[in-house]
Structure 1
Amino acid sequence: MATTGDRRSARRERAAKRRRITVLGVFGELSITAGVLIFLFLFWQLWFNDLVVRAEQNTAAEDFAQSLIEAAGEDQSPAPSEEPADPAAPPAGTTAGDAEEFGVLTIPRFGDDYHAKIAGGVTRPRTLNPIGIGHYLTTQAPGEVGNFAVAGHRTTYGKPLNQIANLRVGDAIVVQTAEGWYTYRFRTLEYVTPSASDVLNPVPQADGVEATDRLITLTSCSPMYSAAERIIAYGVFESFTPITDAPPASLELGG
């Protein structure tokens, strides 16, 4: 037969177990809540927020592209009378200084509504994060003999080069400036170390070689969510369409 002391001891043990269960339960609930909050933050930061920013950048780039066309229509200044050295050569496209916008990149493979503004420089806080695509200032202008090289994020901040690995041979890469549209065709993709700055040479990865072709180079980080390597996409110039003409068919997928 249980004594009074035994019953008291049993009650104390049950109370202690309840307290332990309560503490563990609260800790577990807090852990679950923290996990949900972290998941929601990552969902917002790495996916939904990027969708919002990408849509904003598309719209801003479309507006900027239209403003270049309208500005050309308002400009009534006479064309230069001096004949170019090579009449078949396209005019060199306008470029600009650090964080100054000057063009629009359109890659139909990335979607019907894909457009990204291009600005001078490749610093994250001034160009890549707030604007989208940055031009390496030491490289050539669009349409020039040599290498027009640009950079963009593959993840976060609108991820303008998120689909760079999806490019197929022959895909159009179109750069619009105040002069017109420069159509390049994608040729090759490769991966290099972050220190491989020779991909920006007039002839990529060749030191001291005089350029004869007009190239475009797109650079971004690889793999996804890492900066261990660089993914590089090269394109070769195909054609130039003056800003006063109708937009080229290359702005459409398959064009």
Structure 2
Amino acid sequence: MTDPNLPQDATASPGRVRRRRRPRQRVTFFGALGELLITAGVLVLLFLGWQIWWNSLVLAGQQTGAAQAQSQRWLDEAAKAPTPTPTPTDTAQPPAPPVQAEPADYEPFAVIYIPRLGADWKRTIRETVDTERVLNSYDAGVGHYKGTAMPGQVGNFAVAGHDSGWGNTFIDLSKLHIGDRIYVQTKDGWYTYTFRNFEYVQPSAVEVILPVPRQPDATPIDRLMTITTCNPPFHAGERLIAYTVFQDYAPMQQVPSEIAAAVAANGG
């Protein structure tokens, strides 16, 4: 005789209690949507990781290689050229450095070396700050603001580059110390600038690239170089501005000692 107090399953199978089968949960629209959104988020994060880190690492290597090749071409040309005969100069008033004409759009006309950013850090400077053809390109990374001064010229030689992504050109620009040297090589020789100070501005503050930064009515008397990039890294909320002042010029054969090893690594 069965005990009415026992579960039905237990009475059907004495000595063993069967587990009741849980009802299968139905997949709802919102549950499926949530899973899709999570998957999409993971894919976006993977893409950003590829774009910001791996792709930038590859592109930085390409940009360094392109700058190295351009630098070496000028070194080779200078080695083949006859040595100019020095002319007497007034030692109290050194001669003005040579200044080349403004190049055509997208033309490479300089290579910039910043030892503080790495022993082998170098980038080609092309004319204009066009995003696709200059700042994002595999053979440049730094662009020259069209209409600003040229290297060694009185006024403001202004350039720009990305902080993060597309080679991470100026991602470490904020690490500059007062007195750090920045070297600009052209077909004429080496222009040395000395870092002076930073400024943080809004993206609309275009007056930082005026001949005298932030002073539209002033007449320039100094030779300046201004570097602009986005700030903070991976954002574009503001701009980091690095101001430098011209120190000296040397012909191509007189490689600055601080970057001699990096230049020698070019094969020169």
What TM-score does the superposition give when structure 1 sets the normalisation length?
0.83
Aligned mates of 1:128, 1:34 — CA distance in 2 = 29
Identical aligned residues as a percent: 44
Q: Deviations over 1:108-164 (max 9, x none)?
A: 000011110000001101211112100011111100111100010111111211111
Paired amino acid for 2:63: Q
| Bigger-Rg structure (1/2) | 2
Kindly indicate whether the alpha-carbon contact (under 8 Å) linking 2:52 and 2:166 is maintained by their aligned counterparts in 1.
no
Residue of 106, 110, 116 corresponding to 2:117: 110
The count of residues paired between Structure 1 and Structure 2 equals 241
Judging changes above 3 Å, is the alpha-carbon distance between structure 1 residues 19 and 231 closer, same or farther for their aligned structure 2 residues?
same
Alignment of 1:72-221 (within 5 A): 72-76=78-82, 88-93=95-100, 95-130=102-137, 131-221=140-230
Aligned to 1:8: none
Matched, 1:37 2:46: no
Secondary structure of the equivalent of 1:20? coil
Aligned mates of 1:26, 1:195 — CA distance in 2 = 44
Q: Which runs of 5+ in 2 are unaligned?
A: 10-19, 262-268
Q: Which has the higher helix share?
A: 1
Aligned mates of 1:239, 1:232 — CA distance in 2 = 22
Shift of 1:201: 1.2
Aligned to 1:248: 256
Matched, 1:53 2:59: yes
Secondary structure of the equivalent of 2:26? helix
Judging changes above 3 Å, is the alpha-carbon distance between structure 1 residues 195 and 30 closer, same or farther for their aligned structure 2 residues?
closer
What TM-score does the superposition give when structure 2 sets the normalisation length?
0.79
Judging changes above 3 Å, is the alpha-carbon distance between structure 1 residues 96 and 77 closer, same or farther for their aligned structure 2 residues?
farther
Q: Which runs of 5+ in 1 are unaligned?
A: 5-12
